[in-house]
Amino acid sequence: MSYVDGFSCAVPTANKDKYTAYASRAAALFREYGALQVMECWGDDVPEGKLTSFPMAVKCAEGETVVFSWVRWPSKEVRDAGWAKLIADPRMNDDANPMPFDGQRLIYGGFAVVLEA
């Protein structure tokens, strides 16, 4: 069954084009190293919560937009091998592809798929 990496971050709204270019370059590398699909989603209807929410999770500030992304891999084994290659690839370092957002507020995790419909 597939394996998914999920990500969320707060991006300065003014950096939407820069973020899209950054994500496009990264997506090409994810695909090169075995990812089946990369989805980048710009927040459009992301309400602030009282106890928990996407904006709270990434400490979204005024003038920022929540981004939700995921990468689908054929398996955890392919994902682990792909990530090892991504980390070693100089095209992924900050000099080659600088993050147009605060990476310290990026949340991410790997998820085993239990239902794919």
pLDDT 10s digits, 21-38? 999 999 999 999 999 999
Mean pLDDT to the nearest integer, 50-76: 98
Indicate if the pLDDT at residue 101 is higher than 90. Answer: yes
Mean pLDDT to the nearest integer, 79-87: 97
Q: Are 2 and 79 in contact (CB under 8 A)?
A: no
Tokens 């095209």, residue?
A: 91
Neighbours of 111 (CB within 10 A): 12
Indicate if the pLDDT at residue 95 is higher than 90. Answer: no
From CA 117, how far away is CA 105, in angstroms rounded?
A: 31
Residue 58 burial class via C-beta count within 10 angstroms: exposed 0-12, middle 13-18, buried 19 and up: buried
Rounded to the nearest integer, the mean pLDDT of the chain is 96
